[in-house]
Amino acid sequence: MTAGAADTADIVVVGAGHNGLVCASYLARAGLDVVVLEQSDRPGGALWWTDWQGHQLERGAVEHSAVLTTGIVEDLDLARHGLEYRTRSVAAIHLFGDGTRIVIEETAEATAASIGELSVADGRAWLELAEIGALLLRAYALASDGWIPPPQVATAFARAVAGPRSRRLTDLTRMSAAELAQRWFEHPVVRSMVMFRAAFSSVAPWTPGSAAAFLLTVAGHGRRIGRPVGGSRAFVEALTASAGAAGATVRCGVTVDAVRRAGGSWRVHTSGDKTVIARRGVVSAMAPRPFLLDVLDGALAPRSRRRVERVQEVVDNVSQLTLAAAIDDPLCLPSFGRTELDAGAMWLLSEPSSATEAYSAALLGQLSATPATLVTFPSVADPGAAPAGGATMWADSFTARQLHGRPWSQRRDEASEAVWRTIDACLPGVRGHVRHEVLTTPDDLTGKNGAENAGNHVAPIPGQLLGARPAHGFGNHRSPIDGIYLTGAGTHPGGGVSGLPGRLCARAVLDDLGLGRTRRQRGADVVRQTSSSFRAARAVGR
Ligand SMILES: Cc1cc2nc3c(=O)[nH]c(=O)nc-3n(C[C@H](O)[C@H](O)[C@H](O)COP(=O)(O)OP(=O)(O)OC[C@H]3O[C@@H](n4cnc5c(N)ncnc54)[C@H](O)[C@@H]3O)c2cc1C
């Protein structure tokens, strides 16, 4: 991280979450003078960790797989800046209090066999959905390569070209996970797994569109899965070093209060009354709603402002919390006889009904007694995360954003107790070896990165996806105001450690400044995108 008071820059990036850093890196590599301003005392945003007696305790994201398939790690030369990944092929194991297990294996066939031990029909349904999910994944990739259409346009295109078969896919993407579970699967354990999976995007399983999150899970077979050696710290440090090497400046402990037009440039006002002049534009890498409504200081036309005011950040009051722990004996950790499973993600439900109970409790502003919880032990794949003879745990539970009655600050012990209840039911024997724990509530997460929805910035619901993310008129990483750009989890393609919003935003800035693709290349890209989409849609129709 470099310090120093730059008063002017070509581009100011607001927020040094991983997307802000990725965007800054691409812009600096294209020759622009870039300054990133970050309110926290270090970059990373939702990639957040705490050190305790040699243990690196992760408080935000842990799985960094999404970025592995993008080429960003290679583009930004992150290996040269010390980044190394440990990958595995098996995605996850689902565990229940009665000992039931489902393994999400490398291939759809192997996962179907695992599900088939509970229900042969459900195994077959998994295979069928994996095929449909692969089409969705392909359509999503095509829709992200060039101009990003709003959801209605993408749907209308698919229907016009692919005909009735596309209806099955588009209907599924608009369904709730609960409906998909009920229509496609018969076994209660499998149904509960579907509903739990939908929660990964912090939406309740009855929310329309939540089935899409599950479809992307079934489509994910065979992709690279992994975490950086050195955890989130290593990723953030490599990104920061890469941005610095390209010439960008990252300044931490600087909150951007207001962005105002000043002739042809922008004045970026920060805490401490310092101002940075952005000569060619400003990129917001913070959550879009507070940036556009508060920081942009009345610059939006009333119609645009109303659109942003309607953006839903949190739906059904669903949020998440993490519980990280330092453990004194690695032998107490679960062992499945397969290293990949021991090191991977464990999705825990005390009972199948815990999946829906957790979201009902969130909706009512209550704490679930046995929250649906995702657990992993980062030190298993990355022994450097703990001192010799120790281990680390990371648990992520889906919970209420706002509690009814007493606030989060008064219910920390109760919340942590509930998470342990789930862990004890599915992974007995771990808790007795905890030496230190750190609970990170939804309030803590919002306090850290300024986003009401810390993981996604904007809820991933049908009207807020693709070219309509975060809102109509604000897609394709541009705002209606020239020179103001948007990146981060609240822009396409959304939350997760992918870096894609950062790269796509950089491309928009460079194109507009005449430093990216020429007009002719952009035209050729649109033709290529349209013809690939046409071919893909025809393939669905056959
Ligand atoms: C608990 C949790 C667990 C998760 N687990 C995973 C996981 O395992 N795998 C996965 O792929 N994804 C996971 N996610 C999602 C993923 O972490 C996020 O989608 C992603 O990190 C968002 O990155 P970002 O750069 O878009 O935004 P952020 O990380 O939110 O960064 C925004 C930055 O802007 C800064 N900022 C805000 N306001 C201002 C201001 N006024 N001035 C200056 N700076 C400002 C913030 O401090 C922050 O650093 C998880 C999220 C959470 C919350």
Mutate which of 283, 286, 346, 452 for ligand 1 pocket (most atoms within 8 A of beta carbon): 286
pLDDT at residue 136, rounded to an integer = 81
Does residue 499's CB lie within 6 angstroms of at least one atom of ligand 1? no
Top pLDDT among 176 and 538 is at 176
The mean pLDDT value for 157-176 works out to: 79
Asked if 211 and 175 count as a contact pair (C-beta separation under 8 A), the reply is yes
Specify the higher pLDDT residue, 9 or 157.
Answer: 9
Q: Stretch 291-299: mean pLDDT, rounded?
A: 94
Place of tokens 């105002």: 260
Q: Residue 155 — very low, low, confident or very high, per pLDDT cuts 50/70/90?
A: confident
pTM: 0.95
Ligand 1 centroid – CA 449 distance (Å): 6
CB contact set of 506 (below 8 Å; sequence gap of 6+): 22, 23, 25, 26, 27, 30, 487
Average pLDDT of the residues of the chain: 93
DSSP 384-435: GGS-TT-EEEEEEEEEESS-SSS-GGG-HHHHHHHHHHHHHHHSTTSGGGEE
Q: Residue 471 pLDDT > 90, yes or no?
A: yes
- What pLDDT does 265 receive? 96
Ligand 1 close to Cβ of residue 496 (< 6 A): yes
Ligand 1, residue 454: give the atom nearest the CA: 53
313 lines ligand 1 (CB under 6 A): no
Report whether pLDDT(1) > 50. Answer: no
Distance 534 CA to ligand 1 centre (A): 35
Q: What is the pLDDT of residues 85-116, one digit of tens each?
A: 999 888 899 999 999 999 999 999 999 999 99
The CB of 296 under 6 Å from ligand 1? The reply is no
CB-ligand 1 contact for 326 (6 Å cutoff): no
More confident residue, 84 or 217: 84
What would you report as the CA-atom Rg of the chain, rounded to the nearest whole angstrom? Answer: 23
Residue 478 has pLDDT above 70, yes or no: yes
Please state which CATH number belongs to domain 8-47+66-85+229-312+453-526: 3.50.50.60
Q: Is 276's C-beta closer than 6 angstroms to any atom of ligand 1?
A: no
- Indicate the SS3 state at residue 76: coil
More confident residue, 385 or 462: 385
| pLDDT tens for each residue of 311-329 | 999 999 999 999 999 999 9
pLDDT greater than 70 at residue 541? no
Distance from residue 286's CA to the centre of ligand 1 (Å)? 8
Report the nearest-CA residue for atom 1 of ligand 1: 60
Biggest alpha carbon distance in the chain? Answer: 68
**pLDDT of 538 over the 70 cut:** no
Pairing of strands 275-284, 8-14: parallel
